[in-house]
Amino acid sequence: MPAVSRTTDDGAVERRRMRADARGNADALVEAATAVFAEAGVTAPVRAIAERAGVGVGTLYRHFPLRSDLISAVFRRELDACVDAAEEMETALAPGEALDAWVMRFTGFVATKQGLAAALHSGDTAYEPLAAAFATRLVPTLERLLAAALDAGDITRHVDAEDFLAAVANLCHGGGPASRASGREARMVRLLLAGLRSPAD
């Protein structure tokens, strides 16, 4: 077997390091964008995001050439986390409690993404996959939680999952600081949840 030169080994190590650095920068940018969007909305200056991530603006544009790329990355990561949280809640809580906890988790997700709804409904084709992800991931998650709570007798009314998510999103369109996720929007969403427990007609 021919010997592998040290130069080749060093080159492979360097490429792996560069890929790891690039992944780290991309993750840091998504983390920073998540925080900045919660504070200032999805139209926040990209420089603020780059500074929070500890990288240059050029690095940001290499990973996310368009603002829609960065918004999509943040949305996808948060959506995945929201869906994953449902499984943990189902394991740890009674069906009705899991439903309430997850809906409030979703409320926080929507309420702290100022301007996200406007971006998703802007007609930009870059956001079409996100609308599909909403339908294929969030809706089935809530359907499962609603069915379990109804079977357990923890709620008394059937409700369409897609309609319920849309209602929550509409209540949260006003945006505001991240702290508002536990404020007015949360109180209004709890009224929706209470309606599921009212006597059925």
CATH of the domain at 135: 1.10.357.10
Please state the rounded mean pLDDT for residues 100-121.
80
Q: Are residues 6 and 85 in the same domain?
A: no
CB 190 within 8 A of CB 131: no
* Spatial distance between the Cα atoms of 70 and 78, rounded to a whole number of angstroms: 12
Start-to-end CA distance of the chain, whole Å, equals: 80
pLDDT at 16 over 80: no
- Contacts of range 188-197, beta carbons closer than 8 Å, 24 or more positions apart: 189/103, 189/104, 189/107, 190/104, 192/103, 192/164, 192/167, 192/168, 193/99, 193/100, 193/103, 195/157, 196/149, 196/155, 196/156, 196/157, 196/159, 197/154, 197/155, 197/156, 197/157
Is residue 32 domain-shared with residue 92, that is, in the same domain?
Answer: no
Same domain, 18 and 59: yes
Residue 70 lies in a domain: no
Do 117 and 20 have their domain in common?
no
Within-domain flag for 113:
yes
Tell me how far apart the alpha carbons of residues 23 and 188 are, in angstroms, rounded to a whole number.
Answer: 39
Separation of alpha carbons 177 and 41, rounded Å = 9
- Shared domain check, 82 and 23: no
Instruction: Read off the amino acid at residue 15.
Output: R
Tell whether the model's pLDDT for residue 176 goes beyond 60: no
Distance CA 180, CA 56 (A): 31
Mean pLDDT of 147-152: 96
| pLDDT reported for residue 177 | 46
- Give the predicted TM-score (pTM) of the model: 0.76
Band of the pLDDT at 87, cuts 50, 70, 90?
very high
Q: Structure tokens of 110?
A: 């929507």
> Same domain for 58 and 104?
no
Shared domain check, 50 and 97: no
Ramachandran category for residue 3: left, alpha or beta (phi over 0 → left; psi -120 to 50 → alpha): beta
